[in-house]
C-alpha cells in the first residue's frame, strides 16, 4: 500500500427508489479487481426507498418537546422521524445524538433533509448497510467478472472535534478493522492498542473526492491491498466498553 | 478534486533529536506545487526532542493510584508523564482520556511508547503542531521553490467507534475545515450543519499509506486543490459547545 489512487465515478443519474444502484455503478465505473468502491449512504437509501415524507408524520409529545428545545430542529415531525429511527437518545442538548437501531451513535439518527429534491422528504439510513454493500458487490461481480470491496459511507460528527468526516456504515469484501495488537513495532517492541479502523480511513479518503455538492456519490479507491471480509458492525464500540455512552 | 493520488515518501532515515525534519523530507519527497504533505507526529516529536525517559520520572500519588486501577497502564511513571502533559482528566476508567495543553482530547495525552527504539523512552506531542507544520513547509519552499500544504498527524481513538484513525494536529498552508453552511445542495436547498473536517479526512487518507509498521511516516497527497490557511486548533470543538466533555 505504498500508493493509492482515488477516482470519482462520473455520470450517475439522479437515483430513484427501485433503481438497481449496483447496476448503475457497474455500468459507469472503470474498475480493476480488488478496487474498493465507497458509496454514499444517500444514494443507497434513495435506491432502497428509505425515505419518509414529513407530510405523513404525526409528531408525539416527546418530539414536540425536543423541537421546542433545539433551535437546529424546529420541526417536530422531523424530530419524530429521528426518534422512530433510534433506540436511545444520548443527548438532546444543542444537538440530538441518538443510538440507531443498527447501533450507530450519531446526530439525528442519520436522518437527512439535504439533497432529496423535495423539501419535506428526508432520507433514513439503510436497514442493513452491510447487505446494501454486498448487493452492490454482487452486481459488480456480475458486470465485471471480478470482485471489489464495497463500503457504504455517511458523514458523522465527532465529540471533541469539529467538522464532519466520512465513516463506514456497511462493509463487504474487505476488513473493517486491522488488528496489529501483538505484532512488533519497527524496533521489535510489541504494539499495544493498535487496531486500525481501516474502513473508516477509506471512507474518509473517499469523502475528499465526494464533497457535498459535487454530485459524486461513488468513489473508486485503487491500491488498497486488504485481505479479509468485515462488517460495519465491527466498527461499533460495544456499549458496555464505551465510557462515553 | 475529481481524483487524488497518495504516495509514500521512501528512504527517510531514523529521525533523531535535532534533525532538520523539513530538510530530510525535502531531500527525498518528489513534490509538485500545492501537494499536501502529511507527516506523522512521531517523527516530528523525535526531531524536536519531545521525548521523556521514564527512568528519570518520579510518579506521584495520583499516578500510582491510576496505574493500580488501569490494567493497560501499569507503570506509574508513564501515568505521571501522561498527567504532566494534560490539563484535565476526562475518564480514568478502562482507558485514560485527557485533555492536553493544546486542547486535544485523546487517550494518554498522546504519549506513546511504541517505535522509540528504547524501552523506557516515550514520545510526547509537539509543543505547537501548527508551528511544526509551518517549519516543514518553510523548508520545502527553500528546497523546491514552491509551497505545499503540511499536516502533522496522529492516530486517535474515538468514542462510540472502534479502532484508531489518523487525525490532524497541526496544519499549515491549507484549511482545516471547509464551511459549506449556507451554500445550496444539488437541489438549491440550504445545507445545514455541513462543515467538513477536510484536514482530518486528509490525515485519515494518509494513514492508509502510513500503516503502523511500514516506516513510512510521510505521505504526499496530490490533487487536493484547497484554498486558505487553517490551524489544528480549528478542529478542536470548544469545551463550552461540547456536550461530551
Cβ of B200 under 8 Å from any chain A Cβ? yes
Segment 133-192 of chain A within 8 Å of chain B by CB: 155, 157-167, 176-177, 180, 183-187, 189, 191-192
Nearest CA in chain A to B119: A189
pLDDT in tens, B76-113: 999 999 999 999 999 998 889 999 999 999 999 999 98
Partner-chain contact B160 A242, CB within 8 Å: yes
Cβ of A205 under 8 Å from any chain B Cβ? yes
Distance in Å, alpha carbon of A210 to nearest chain B alpha carbon: 8
Domains and CATH numbers, chain B: 5-50+126-236 (3.30.1330.100), 52-122 (3.90.1660.10)
- Per 3-state DSSP, chain B is made up of helix, strand and coil in percentages (nearest 5) of 30, 25, 45
Any long-range contacts for A96-102 (C-beta under 8 Å, 24+ apart)?
A: A96/A66, A96/A70, A97/B243, A99/A239, A99/A245, A100/A125, A102/A128, A102/A129, A102/A169, A102/A232, A102/A233, A102/A236
Nearest CA in chain B to A116: B187
With contact defined as beta carbons under 8 Å apart, do A232 and A170 qualify?
Answer: yes
Predicted pLDDT at B192: 57
Partner-chain contact B236 A161, CB within 8 Å: yes
Q: How confident is the model at residue A215 (pLDDT cuts 50, 70, 90)?
A: confident
Instruction: Looking at chain A, list the stretches that DSSP marks H as alpha helix, in order from N- to C-terminal side.
Output: 21-28, 41-47, 61-69, 76-84, 129-144, 198-210
Q: Which of A8, A208, A234 to mutate to test the interface with B (most CBs of B within 10 A)?
A: A208
Cβ of B240 under 8 Å from any chain A Cβ? no
The region of weakest confidence among A208-222, B55-69, B157-171 is A208-222
Phi/psi of residue A142, each to 5°? Answer: -65, -40
Mean pLDDT (chain B, rounded) = 92
Judge whether residue A173 has pLDDT over 90: yes
Distance in Å, alpha carbon of B87 to nearest chain A alpha carbon: 15
Instruction: Decide: residue A89, CB within 10 A, 0-12 exposed, 13-18 middle, 19+ buried.
Output: middle
Residue appearing with cell numbers 517523527 = B43
- Which residues, in sequence order, are CB contacts of A168 under 8 Å at separation 6+? A151, A152, A153, A176, A199, A200, A202, A203, A232, A235
Predicted pLDDT at A67: 96
Kindly state the average pLDDT of the residues A130-137: 98
Which of A114, A162, A198 faces B237 most closely, judged by CB atoms?
A: A162
- Which residues, in sequence order, are CB contacts of B240 under 8 Å at separation 6+? none
pLDDT in tens, B30-49: 999 999 999 999 999 999 99
- Which residues, in sequence order, are CB contacts of B161 under 8 Å at separation 6+? A105, A167, A197, A200, A235, A236, A237
pLDDT in tens, B134-157: 999 999 999 999 999 999 999 999
Judge whether residue A1 has pLDDT over 60: no
Amino acid at each position: 500500500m505504498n500508493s493509492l489512487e482515488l477516482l470519482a465515478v462520473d455520470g450517475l443519474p439522479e437515483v430513484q427508489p427501485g433503481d438497481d444502484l449496483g447496476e448503475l455503478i457497474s455500468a459507469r465505473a472503470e474498475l480493476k479487481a480488488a478496487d474498493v468502491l465507497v458509496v454514499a449512504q444517500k444514494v443507497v437509501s434513495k435506491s432502497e426507498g428509505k425515505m419518509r415524507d414529513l407530510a405523513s408524520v404525526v409528531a408525539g409529545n416527546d418530539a414536540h418537546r425536543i423541537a421546542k428545545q433545539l433551535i437546529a430542529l424546529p420541526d417536530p415531525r422531523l424530530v419524530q422521524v429521528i426518534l422512530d429511527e433510534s433506540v436511545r437518545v444520548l443527548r438532546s442538548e444543542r444537538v440530538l445524538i441518538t443510538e440507531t437501531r443498527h447501533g450507530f451513535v450519531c446526530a439525528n439518527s442519520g436522518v437527512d433533509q439535504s439533497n432529496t429534491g423535495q423539501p419535506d422528504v428526508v432520507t433514513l439510513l439503510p436497514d442493513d448497510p452491510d447487505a446494501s454493500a454486498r448487493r452492490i458487490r454482487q452486481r459488480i461481480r456480475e458486470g465485471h467478472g471480478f470482485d471489489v470491496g464495497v463500503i457504504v459511507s455517511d458523514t458523522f460528527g465527532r465529540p471533541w472535534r469539529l467538522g464532519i468526516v466520512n465513516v463506514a456504515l456497511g462493509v463487504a469484501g474487505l476488513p473493517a478493522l486491522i488488528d496489529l495488537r501483538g505484532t512488533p513495532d519497527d524496533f521489535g517492541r510489541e504494539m499495544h492498542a493498535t487496531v486500525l479502523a481501516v474502513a473508516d480511513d477509506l471512507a474518509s479518503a473517499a469523502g475528499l473526492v465526494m464533497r457535498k455538492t459535487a454530485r459524486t456519490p461513488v468513489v473508486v479507491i485503487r491500491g488498497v491491498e486488504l485481505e479479509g471480509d468485515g462488517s460495519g458492525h465491527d466498527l461499533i464500540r460495544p456499549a458496555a466498553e464505551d465510557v462515553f455512552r
